[in-house]
Amino acid sequence: MDRRKFLAGATALGVSGLWAGRTVAASRVAWREDRALYPQGVASGDPDDHSVILWTRRPFEQGDRHELTVEVARDPQFRKVVATARVPVLAVADWTCRALVGGLAPATVHWYRFTDDSGAGSRIGRTVTAPKVSDPRPVRFAFVSCNSVNEGAQNAYRRMIWEDERAPDDRKIGFVLHLGDFIYEVMEYPDEVQHRYGRTVYDMGRIPDARKVGNFHVPTTLEGYRFVYRAHINDPDIQDARAHFPFVCMGDNHEFSWQGWQSFVKFGGKIEPAQPLRVAANQAWWEYIPSRVRKVSGAGLEQFDPPAVALAPIETFDGDGFGTEANNRTAVDSMVAYRAMRYGRNVELMVTDFHSYAMEYPASRPETDVFDFPFPVYPQELMEIVDGGRDYNSGNPPETITIGDKSAPNFRKDEPAFTLLGRDQKAWLKDRLAQSNATWKIWGATNGPLDARTDPQNLPDELVDMKWPGKDFGTFGGADFSSAFAERAEIYDHVRDHKISGFVTVSGDRHSFWAGYAAPRLPPAGFDPVGLSFITGSVSAPGMAEASEYYKDFPLLPLFVRKPEGGAPEATVNLTIKRGVRAALEYAASGDIDKARALTNPDVAPHLEFVDMAGHGYCVVTAGPKAIETEFVCIVRPVTRATTPDGGPLRYRVSHRAGLWQPGTAPKLEQSVLEGEGEAKLSM
């Protein structure tokens, strides 16, 4: 790419662009580090083979516009500076600053810093450009999700940095893919709530103009969202990670609203339009996350330029369940985040947005309340009917839904199938998958597509008051991609029909580690995987296994947790999901893993090789010309900040490796426990 085209592209992105020169020289800037003046540090994002976006925040007490000097060098001493430029920083952008630097060498570590006119400078940041498209070297990246600063410690980042600093060059991480919940917009205040589960609620300050929802406080304005971003980035381990690695980010639900979609919020079961809030959430994300997302509300280089929207009822919907009210469309389109990036010959990364274009999750609607059974899972056929809408059963949905002895009119029979992607984004994804010539087509799908289900039909009679009403399996539900049965099958069938090899999904959101196969259907409907699928444990947010330790006693509690006398709780829910209820109940009773495994129901989870609902940490992917490997790095529960530079001890390190398969053949994962076999025994 030449300089002129690069600068034109920078303008389209809404960032300041600078081009690295061919000459290298020592810095002439009188820089002195003053981190207090740059309280959120520095960051870099969305690297390609010649450019990267750099970021900082430098608030000023007076004026509404200042300038900083940004420098990029090939060494941390800045004796080999390749680019220097003046970049604006504006009060209207909350004093955040972005610079797109081009003309950089590919697959190269660069160092950068910002300096104000007094010579006060930011900390020094480190970033890495992507390899050229023709480069055959393996690509190595980490993926993470769910930083809960309010309820935990970000020790996973400390571990990641510690290991990366000691790794040989060919084992260093090229970038960190953050798959959402970078912030939690729901904030607890410790003067109101001191503990959740066994965790301390940490003080992050007070959200301006907050709305109280139960025990939580949520933003209602742009300033509220900005506050929440600052409160998260103030965490020293998050800040260090952003300074050490380039990040590729996609928001999930908490970047807008916990149970929100499009421009809707939902609190206490009540759905409300929130178009101005959606724009505010998008603006704060754009200001604090350096990225190449498309900002369609204006051509300004230094600020978001939010579109004007009004709060208005959203009452009509198109054929994909998207609200047709004009302000809803304008608010959602204020930022288009789905995008693709290329990393050498071996990886094309496609990241998608599962909340901006999604329709309301139909299984949460009150019409399903009649199907309230005393089980912790839902009949899978119920979930599939509700998901499929008018497309269910090849376009022949039932007039009435009958599950056991309960019936209700099929409220979904004339409605479209549930979508998380929306029409345009889904078409884009399918086209990118079909057109990509990378060895590995990696889909960054923010929430997990792997089915979470079990076999309640095999529960012993003495544990339940009634017979399981479903035909066979029960699913744990939830509005993630595993509940979008029809849409997921559409994508996976597209992969099979277009003979796409090297298809891999990487996800977050579930606060648990999963490894398995991307399959459009599971038994009894068949099992024909078309790719691989991995989900990372949360950085710090608590998950189902931790919550189950605090459940009140009930007959089916052994399906979730075992509490041995004198020992730590054990997540039997891993066995429930991977091997079925008989295996989980056996282990809960005997503590004998071999006896439990002998009772495995092979039809429950042929798609799973590993599941740990108690997992925290991160994943590292190594994608080469012939094989791909995903390593789960699981840390101990991060309730307090580690006191050691390595981020504290590990629970386990488990690797899953697969060779590249030919179209029409099934992939095969090979599992290796590198550390902590005892900790991982219930997951395998």
The mean pLDDT of 91-114, rounded to a whole number, is: 97
SS (H, E, C) 603-635: CCCCCEEEEECCCEEEEEEEECCCEEEEEEEEE
Reading the block at residue 165, the tokens are 């600093």
The mean pLDDT of 490-518, rounded to a whole number, is: 98
Assess whether pLDDT exceeds 80 at residue 339: yes
The mean pLDDT of 423-434, rounded to a whole number, is: 99
Query: Which residues have CB under 8 Å from 643's CB, separation 6+?
Result: none
* pTM higher than the cut 0.85: yes
Which of 514, 506, 507, 512 has its CA nearest to residue 538?
512
Instruction: Using DSSP, state whether 160 is helix, strand or coil.
Output: helix
Which residues, listed in sequence order, are joined to residue 121 by a DSSP beta bridge?
33, 115
* Per-residue confidence (pLDDT) for residue 20, from 0 to 100: 83
Work out the angle at residue 419's Cα, subtended by the Cα atoms of residues 417 and 424, and round it to the nearest 5 degrees.
Answer: 115
End-to-end CA distance of the chain: 47
Does residue 4 or residue 377 have the better pLDDT?
377
* Per-residue confidence (pLDDT) for residue 297, from 0 to 100: 66
Pairing of strands 264-267, 270-273: antiparallel
The mean pLDDT of 156-176, rounded to a whole number, is: 98
* Per-residue confidence (pLDDT) for residue 13, from 0 to 100: 58
Least-confidence region, from 7-21, 401-415, 433-447, 643-657? 7-21
The mean pLDDT of 192-199, rounded to a whole number, is: 94
Residue pLDDT, tens place only, 540-584: 999 999 999 999 999 999 999 999 999 999 999 999 999 999 999
Fold (CATH) for 132-361+447-453+479-684: Purple Acid Phosphatase; chain A, domain 2 (3.60.21)
Task: Using alpha carbons, list the distances in angstroms from residue 266 to 92, 283, 367, 474, 538.
Answer: 29, 21, 17, 26, 24
Percentage above 90 pLDDT, the chain = 94
Instruction: Give ranges for CATH 3.60.21.70 in the chain.
Output: 132-361+447-453+479-684
Looking at residue 187, what DSSP letter applies?
A: B
* Per-residue confidence (pLDDT) for residue 3, from 0 to 100: 72
Which of 379, 366, 456 has its CA nearest to residue 408?
366
The mean pLDDT of 422-449, rounded to a whole number, is: 98
Assess whether pLDDT exceeds 90 at residue 510: yes
Task: Report the chain's mean pLDDT, rounded to a whole number.
Answer: 96
Burial code (b: 16+ CB inside 10 Å, e: under 16) for 156-187 equals bbbbbbebbeeeeeeeebbbbbbbbbbbbbbb
Q: Diameter of the chain by CA atoms?
A: 80
Work out the angle at residue 610's Cα, subtended by the Cα atoms of residues 533 and 601, and round it to the nearest 5 degrees.
Answer: 110
Rounded Cα distance between 247 and 251, Å, is 12
The mean pLDDT of 595-622, rounded to a whole number, is: 99
Assess whether pLDDT exceeds 80 at residue 383: yes
* Per-residue confidence (pLDDT) for residue 299, from 0 to 100: 47
Instruction: Give ranges for CATH 2.60.40.380 in the chain.
Output: 1-129
Assess whether pLDDT exceeds 80 at residue 344: yes
Assess whether pLDDT exceeds 60 at residue 14: no
Question: CB-side exposure of 217: number of CA atoms within 13 Å?
Answer: 21
Residue pLDDT, tens place only, 402-412: 999 999 999 99
| Residue 12, Cβ density class (10 Å: 0-12 exposed, 13-18 middle, ≥19 buried) | exposed
* Per-residue confidence (pLDDT) for residue 499, from 0 to 100: 97
* Per-residue confidence (pLDDT) for residue 671, from 0 to 100: 98
* Per-residue confidence (pLDDT) for residue 162, from 0 to 100: 99
Question: Is domain 1-129 annotated with CATH 2.60.40.380?
Answer: yes
Rounded Cα distance between 222 and 185, Å, is 12
Assess whether pLDDT exceeds 60 at residue 300: no
Rounded Cα distance between 69 and 113, Å, is 8
Residue pLDDT, tens place only, 642-655: 999 999 999 999 99
The mean pLDDT of 225-235, rounded to a whole number, is: 99
* Per-residue confidence (pLDDT) for residue 21, from 0 to 100: 77
Reading the block at residue 192, the tokens are 């109101």
